[in-house]
């Protein structure tokens, strides 16, 4: 029988009817012609003749003409989503949204998984961004903040935190032209007494120019006057708005009020604005002047002590490089009007670093690493959701086919599918914001001692915009591929019932995505592994003393009632009282505590004759002014000679101990015992070296600068340390003895501040805080990544098994063992995993070098970590594949074959 | 013969709707059936070609006088059957009356001449 449909279609082509309509007309007319054909045959006409007759009856143009007039007047078809009618766009979008929502709610399981996955990814990224934004991206909360810099000696070690001297400050102020203002600062913890409860306050002693450098001034009252910053200047104090409210109830007569700090009377001259953020010491509430002797009467004394931080504000138009070279020129040219002691000779030059960089430098590598990790996590989450959408798209093939048959335009369908994925993303984003809130709080709790700009960390407008932005991008991104996939394709294939037989083109896309997921997860886990091993190496480092059962605290002899004599007495008597406590096996004082995080107290060391003069050791050594018994309390080993004891007083010849690294660098193999040195002062007495002791890590576990000089505090003549660190070795839990120890000290003098109480183990942990912080986050993300990968693999293999059910049934029927089927599926999963792992290993090799700053003791391509993580992922993958593989195993071939 | 064909066309145009509506009044029919019935009952005088027939059927359907439905009977291919709608019934009645009046009027005129 001739094919009338072709003839009719040809004649109707020009009408450009909607496909449905055309199909209908063609079918009906073809039947008519068939009937006519049968009729003619029945009448005895031959096939060919009949065909000719009918074709003659079916004129070329008439069909077109007749139907054109009818079909043109066709009223619009009912509004079905996805059709190509040009209707009001807003109505379209609204319909898309409603339809999309309905579709999502129809499959609550799918929607829930997708939304939760996206929420985790978006929430984590938003939380991290909210922390990173104020720290790394936003500028400091001061006018022209980029002009504020820190000034330090250039010792070439990035972690060096040796302080600056007041003398250097005076010289730079008078000689430099690059700065509009320079200031120096030191911490101050005065005890406020008088009306109300006695309270220990956090504060700063500053030069008069401090607030000028920052570019802020008091909201009430006045700023410091430089003329008041002198040795016998007035006792003035500026307080924070918080302190004003809390302690003085915001009383209006605050300016000019008298307050008692450390036993002395101070006048409040100003109150800082509420919005003021003191980046250098966020908790500070009081500021008073340094009041050092600007005439620099000698090259000793506190004017040359290295305990100040120096900041400056660059002149307009001056850059850091320009300032630095000017300062270096000044450093190189020693002028007679500005003499310098050896330890503050400035001959290694000066460094100028923006304050922003300085404040964030400690935590920056960790944050950048964590930022990288969260990006990986987000990608994994997106890949997972894309896969879910692809799978869903496959399930909706029938629906899409029908829509196309009804005349849906491809673009329209894509738009509708994108609306669905955007909706999904928005739901994920909304939930993600909640996750972010929780995450931010967790971040702040977990964070290394103090995240800089912590007060600015939170979900604010910028963060919200960020969240909205990535949510939208994700919605479009994850939706695009599945939308493109679903909306194309052969109509016939889609409508056929036996669609399972066709090789799903979408399957290769899903497999590719799973491979990508595995590789991303591997990179993340490798990062976690490297950090983990670094930390274990770090904590394997010997700090040089015994950290267990050691309690530490800082005791201050504050107040004007103290001179050198009474300071020594106070500390001596406090020590006696503490030593008598039950549970205390040893106790001692030291001017400096290892791993305390303080600015290191370093001085120039000058040796008498017979020394190889190594110019690099110019910087000197750490000074430890200690009570006898300190080294025993800390369990610092003695290498040579003897330790300090109670006989080393101010009446006896001055003696010192040196660390073995100092001994080695100065004396090599020669015996240092009996040699003499001078610490700090250029014309003080020579001290004799009586012993060599083990090295101690002072700044941090990773900084290897360990040159140290120990002397008894009775023999440290330059000045009496007003703040000393108490170390107590306890028999039991150190923390439990803290109250008793404090009481013992207060029994000697109840007004003296005791601060920064912590066990040494805690300090040790804190010193690696940034790394640990990064590690915890990497571990958390890594865990989520593993779960997502497992889910992703499971999904793909599950779908594959479903598709291959017939094939499996046939295999089993043909005699394959069930075990073979299990291996078949497992192998499929393993192949995908191995592909992902290989890709991931390559990527890791390229990427982990970015982590170098955080690593310690291992390389960024440590093979043990790489191998271990790869193995872990393979195991997880096999577990994830097991369930679908078992399902495949349980296929009943009879059922399958019968169905067909 | 030319003007016969012209007459053919004119008459057909005017009566075509009436014809089709009448034929589906009693029961639904498909297109081919309708065309055969018209040919048969008119004794071969009236013949619709495929183009005019179906364009008319579609037009009537669009107006809502006919309703087409695909019906599948066992063992056969599906066919499109047309039936009269409620609206169509009303139109048929009106058109019948009109046609009746018209024919009577013509008759009256021509018969008077004959008589």
Are A144 and A312 in contact, with CB atoms under 8 Å apart? no
- d(CA B75, CA A739) in angstroms, rounded, equals 99
Q: How confident is the model at residue A501 (pLDDT cuts 50, 70, 90)?
A: very low
pLDDT at position A498 is: 40
Tokens of A422: 């955007």
Nearest residue, CB atoms, A29 vs list B50, B62, B77: B50
Are A371 and A128 in contact, with CB atoms under 8 Å apart? yes
Q: What are phi and psi of A658, to 5 degrees?
A: -125, 155
pLDDT at position A499 is: 42
- Chain A residues 53-82 with CB within 8 Å of chain B: 57-59, 62-63, 65-67, 69-71, 73-75
Can you tell me the mean pLDDT for A322-333?
A: 93
pLDDT at position A451 is: 65
pLDDT at position A680 is: 67
CA distance B98 to chain A (A): 25
The candidate with the shortest Cα–Cα distance to A657, out of A618, A614, A626, A684, is A626
How many C-alpha atoms does A550 have within 13 Å on its Cβ side? 25
Residue B59 at interface with chain A, using a CB cutoff of 8 Å: yes
Q: How confident is the model at residue B96 (pLDDT cuts 50, 70, 90)?
A: confident
Are A153 and A169 in contact, with CB atoms under 8 Å apart? no
- d(CA A90, CA A122) in angstroms, rounded, equals 29
Q: What are phi and psi of A533, to 5 degrees?
A: -65, -35
Can you tell me the mean pLDDT for A430-440?
A: 89
Q: Which residues of A touch B52 (CB under 8 A)?
A: 62, 66
Pick the residue with more confidence: A795 or A726? A726
pLDDT > 90? residue A323: yes
Q: Which residues of A touch B62 (CB under 8 A)?
A: 70, 73-75
Residue A36 at interface with chain B, using a CB cutoff of 8 Å: yes
pLDDT tens profile B35-68: 999 888 878 878 888 888 998 999 999 999 999 9
Instruction: Assign A396 to helix, strand or coil.
Output: coil
Contacts 24+ apart (CB under 8 A), A819-825: A819/A889, A821/A885, A821/A888, A821/A889, A821/A891, A822/A885, A822/A886, A822/A888, A822/A889, A824/A888, A825/A797, A825/A800, A825/A801, A825/A881, A825/A884, A825/A885, A825/A888, A825/A889
pLDDT tens profile A862-879: 899 999 999 999 999 988
Q: Which residues of B touch A75 (CB under 8 A)?
A: 62
- d(CA A417, CA A425) in angstroms, rounded, equals 12
Q: Taking the CB of residue A327, how many other CB atoms lie within 10 A of it?
A: 23
Residue B12 at interface with chain A, using a CB cutoff of 8 Å: no
Q: At what angle do helices A734-748 and A564-579 cross, to 10 degrees?
A: 140
C-alpha separations of A319 from A465, A658, A670, A737 in Å = 33, 42, 49, 52
Strands (E) in A309-377, as ranges, are 309-314, 350-354
Are A594 and A697 in contact, with CB atoms under 8 Å apart? yes
CB contact under 8 A, B51 and A67: yes
- d(CA A840, CA A846) in angstroms, rounded, equals 10
Instruction: Assign A237 to helix, strand or coil.
Output: strand
First and final C-alpha spacing in chain A: 31
Tokens of A82: 């996805």
Instruction: Assign A55 to helix, strand or coil.
Output: helix
With CA atoms as reference, the chain A residue closest to B60 would be: A70
User: Helical H runs in A238-354?
Assistant: 241-248, 320-332
For chains A and B, count residue pairs whose Cβ atoms are closer than 8 Å.
51
pLDDT tens profile A575-600: 999 999 999 999 999 999 998 877 66
Q: Which residues contact A310 (CB under 8 A, 6 or more apart)?
A: A150, A151, A152, A164, A168, A169, A172, A182, A183, A184, A185
CB contact under 8 A, B55 and A33: no
Residue B49 at interface with chain A, using a CB cutoff of 8 Å: yes
Place of tokens 């029994």: A747
- d(CA A241, CA A271) in angstroms, rounded, equals 6
| Burial classification of residue A731, based on how many CB atoms lie within 10 Å of its CB (0-12 exposed, 13-18 middle, 19 or more buried) | exposed
CA distance B110 to chain A (A): 35
Q: Which residues contact A849 (CB under 8 A, 6 or more apart)?
A: A860, A861
pLDDT at position A670 is: 86
pLDDT at position A82 is: 52
Q: Mean pLDDT for chain A?
A: 84
Nearest residue, CB atoms, B55 vs list A32, A36, A70: A70
Residue B79 at interface with chain A, using a CB cutoff of 8 Å: yes
Can you tell me the mean pLDDT for A2-29?
A: 87
pLDDT tens profile A35-54: 999 999 999 999 999 999 99
Lowest mean pLDDT among A265-274, A815-824, B11-20: B11-20
Q: Which residues contact B109 (CB under 8 A, 6 or more apart)?
A: none
pLDDT > 80? residue A616: no
CA A521 to chain centre: 18
pLDDT > 70? residue A67: yes
Q: Which of A5, A60, A70, A76 to mutate to test the interface with B (most CBs of B within 10 A)?
A: A70
Q: Containing H/E element for A121?
A: helix A108-132
| Burial classification of residue A138, based on how many CB atoms lie within 10 Å of its CB (0-12 exposed, 13-18 middle, 19 or more buried) | middle
CB contact under 8 A, A67 and B79: no
CA distance B63 to chain A (A): 10
pLDDT > 90? residue A61: no
Number of residues that make up chain A? 900
Are A466 and A364 in contact, with CB atoms under 8 Å apart? no
pLDDT > 60? residue B103: yes
Q: How confident is the model at residue A218 (pLDDT cuts 50, 70, 90)?
A: very high
Can you tell me the mean pLDDT for A411-415?
A: 81
Q: Which residues of B touch A71 (CB under 8 A)?
A: 58
pLDDT > 60? residue A267: yes
Can you tell me the mean pLDDT for A474-499?
A: 66
Q: How confident is the model at residue A502 (pLDDT cuts 50, 70, 90)?
A: very low
pLDDT > 90? residue A861: no
Can you tell me the mean pLDDT for A665-694?
A: 84
What's A133's DSSP letter?
A: I
Pick the residue with more confidence: A498 or A378? A378
Q: Which residues of A touch B30 (CB under 8 A)?
A: 31
Can you tell me the mean pLDDT for A213-238?
A: 92
pLDDT at position A763 is: 85
Q: Which residues of A touch B63 (CB under 8 A)?
A: none
Number of residues that make up chain B? 115
pLDDT at position A801 is: 81
Residue percentage of chain A with pLDDT more than 90: 30
Predicted complex ipTM? 0.89
| Burial classification of residue A223, based on how many CB atoms lie within 10 Å of its CB (0-12 exposed, 13-18 middle, 19 or more buried) | middle
Are A449 and A766 in contact, with CB atoms under 8 Å apart? yes
pLDDT tens profile A138-153: 888 899 999 999 998 8
With CA atoms as reference, the chain A residue closest to B36 would be: A36
Q: How confident is the model at residue A488 (pLDDT cuts 50, 70, 90)?
A: low
pLDDT tens profile A275-311: 898 888 888 999 999 988 888 777 666 777 777 889 9
Q: Taking the CB of residue A349, how many other CB atoms lie within 10 A of it?
A: 16
Can you tell me the mean pLDDT for A173-188?
A: 92
Pairing mode, strands A708-712 and A621-626:
parallel
The whole-model pTM stands at 0.66
Q: Which residues of B touch A31 (CB under 8 A)?
A: 30-32, 77, 79
Pick the residue with more confidence: A604 or A543? A543
Pick the residue with more confidence: A325 or A108? A325
Tokens of A582: 């039950």
Residue B52 at interface with chain A, using a CB cutoff of 8 Å: yes
The candidate with the shortest Cα–Cα distance to A419, out of A485, A473, A475, is A475
User: Helical H runs in A541-684?
Assistant: 564-579, 630-634, 660-667
How many C-alpha atoms does A755 have within 13 Å on its Cβ side? 18
Residue B50 at interface with chain A, using a CB cutoff of 8 Å: yes
Instruction: Assign A689 to helix, strand or coil.
Output: strand
């Amino acid at each position: 029988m001739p094919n009338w449909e072709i003839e009719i279609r040809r004649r109707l082509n020009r009408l450009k009817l909607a496909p449905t309509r055309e199909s209908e007309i063609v079918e009906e007319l073809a039947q008519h012609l068939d009937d006519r054909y049968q009729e003619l045959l029945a009448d005895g006409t031959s096939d060919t003749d009949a065909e000719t007759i009918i074709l003659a009856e079916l004129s070329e143009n008439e069909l077109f003409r007749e139907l054109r007039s009818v079909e043109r007047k066709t009223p619009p078809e009912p509004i079905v989503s996805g059709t190509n009618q040009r209707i009001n766009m807003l109505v379209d979008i609204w319909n898309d949204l409603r339809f999309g929502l309905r579709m999502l709610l129809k499959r609550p399981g799918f929607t829930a998984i997708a939304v939760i996955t996206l929420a985790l990814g978006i929430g984590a990224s938003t939380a991290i961004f909210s922390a990173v934004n104020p720290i790394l991206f936003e500028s400091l909360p001061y006018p022209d903040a980029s002009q504020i810099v820190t000034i330090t000696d250039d010792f070439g070690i990035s972690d060096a935190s040796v302080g600056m001297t007041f003398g250097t400050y005076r010289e730079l102020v008078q000689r430099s032209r690059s700065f509009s203002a320079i200031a120096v600062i030191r911490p101050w913890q005065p005890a406020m007494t008088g009306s109300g409860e006695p309270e220990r306050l956090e504060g700063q002693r500053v030069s008069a120019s401090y607030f000028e450098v920052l570019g802020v001034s008091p909201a009430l009252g006045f700023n410091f006057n430089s003329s008041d910053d002198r040795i016998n200047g007035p006792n003035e104090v500026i307080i924070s708005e918080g302190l004003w409210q809390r302690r003085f109830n915001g009383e209006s007569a605050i300016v000019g009020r008298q307050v008692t700090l450390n036993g002395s009377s101070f006048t409040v001259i100003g109150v800082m604005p509420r919005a003021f953020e003191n980046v250098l010491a966020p908790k500070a509430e009081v500021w008073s002047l340094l009041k050092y002797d600007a005439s620099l009467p000698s090259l000793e004394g506190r004017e040359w002590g290295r305990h100040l931080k120096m900041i400056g504000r660059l002149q307009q138009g001056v850059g850091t490089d320009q300032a630095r070279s000017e300062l270096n020129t000044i450093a190189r040219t020693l002028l007679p009007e500005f003499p310098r002691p050896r330890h503050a000779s400035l001959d290694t030059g000066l460094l100028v670093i923006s304050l922003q960089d300085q404040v964030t430098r400690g935590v920056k590598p960790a944050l950048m690493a964590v930022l990288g990790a969260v990006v990986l996590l987000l990608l994994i989450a997106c890949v997972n959701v894309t896969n879910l959408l692809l799978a869903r798209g496959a399930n909706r093939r029938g629906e899409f086919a029908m829509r196309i048959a009804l005349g849906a335009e491809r673009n329209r369908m894509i738009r509708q599918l994108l609306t669905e994925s955007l909706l999904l993303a928005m739901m994920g984003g909304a939930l993600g914001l909640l996750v972010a809130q929780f995450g931010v709080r967790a971040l702040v709790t977990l964070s290394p001692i103090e995240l800089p700009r912590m007060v600015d960390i939170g979900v604010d407008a910028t963060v919200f915009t960020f969240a909205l932005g990535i949510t939208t991008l994700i919605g479009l991104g994850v939706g695009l591929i599945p939308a493109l996939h679903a909306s194309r394709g052969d109509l016939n294939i889609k409508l056929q019932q036996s669609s399972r037989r066709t090789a799903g083109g979408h399957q290769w896309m899903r497999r590719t995505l799973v491979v990508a997921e595995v590789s991303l997860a591997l990179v993340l886990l490798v990062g976690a592994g490297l950090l983990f091993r670094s930390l274990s190496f770090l904590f394997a480092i010997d700090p040089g003393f015994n950290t267990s059962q050691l309690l530490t605290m800082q005791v201050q002899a504050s107040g004007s009632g103290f001179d050198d004599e009474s300071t020594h007495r106070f500390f001596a008597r406090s020590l006696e009282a503490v030593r008598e406590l039950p549970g205390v096996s040893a106790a001692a004082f030291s001017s400096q505590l290892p791993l305390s995080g303080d600015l290191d107290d370093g001085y120039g060391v000058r040796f008498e004759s017979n020394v190889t003069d190594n110019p690099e050791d110019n910087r000197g050594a750490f000074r430890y002014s200690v009570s006898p018994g300190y080294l025993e309390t800390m369990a610092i080993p003695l290498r040579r000679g003897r330790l300090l004891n109670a006989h080393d007083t101010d009446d006896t010849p001055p003696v010192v101990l040196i660390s073995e690294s100092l001994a080695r660098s100065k004396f090599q193999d020669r015996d240092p015992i009996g040699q003499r040195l001078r610490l700090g002062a250029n014309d003080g007495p020579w001290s004799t070296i009586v012993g060599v002791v083990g090295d101690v890590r002072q700044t941090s576990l990773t900084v290897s600068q360990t040159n140290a000089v120990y002397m008894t505090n009775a023999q440290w003549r330059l000045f009496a340390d007003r703040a000393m660190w108490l170390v107590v070795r306890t028999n039991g839990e150190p923390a439990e003895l803290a109250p008793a120890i404090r009481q013992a000290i207060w029994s000697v003098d109840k007004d003296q501040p005791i601060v920064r109480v912590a066990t040494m183990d805690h300090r040790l942990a804190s010193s690696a805080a940034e790394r640990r912080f990064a590690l915890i986050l990497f571990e958390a993300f890594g865990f989520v990544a593993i779960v997502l990968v497992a889910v992703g693999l499971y999904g793909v293999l599950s779908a594959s098994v479903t598709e291959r059910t017939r094939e499996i049934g046939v295999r089993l029927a043909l005699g394959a063992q069930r075990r073979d089927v299990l291996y078949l599926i497992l192998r499929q999963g393993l192949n995908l995993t191995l592909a992902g792992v290989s890709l991931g290993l390559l990527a890791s090799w390229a990427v982990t070098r970015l982590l170098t700053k955080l690593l310690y003791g291992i390389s960024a391509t440590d093979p043990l970590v790489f191998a271990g993580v790869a193995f872990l992922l393979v195991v997880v993958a096999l577990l994830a594949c097991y369930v679908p593989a078992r399902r495949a195993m349980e296929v009943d071939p009879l059922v399958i074959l019968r169905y067909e | 013969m030319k003007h016969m064909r012209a007459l053919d066309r004119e008459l057909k145009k005017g009566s075509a709707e009436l014809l089709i509506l009448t034929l589906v009044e009693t029961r639904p029919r498909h297109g081919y059936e309708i065309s055969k019935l018209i040919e048969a009952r008119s004794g071969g005088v009236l013949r619709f070609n495929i183009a005019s027939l179906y364009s008319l059927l579609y037009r009537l359907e669009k107006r809502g006088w006919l309703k087409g439905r695909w019906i599948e009977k066992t063992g056969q291919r599906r066919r499109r059957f047309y039936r009269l709608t409620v609206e169509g019934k009303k139109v048929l009645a009106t058109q019948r009356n009109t046609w009746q009046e018209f024919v009577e009027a013509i008759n009256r005129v021509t018969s008077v001449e004959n008589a």
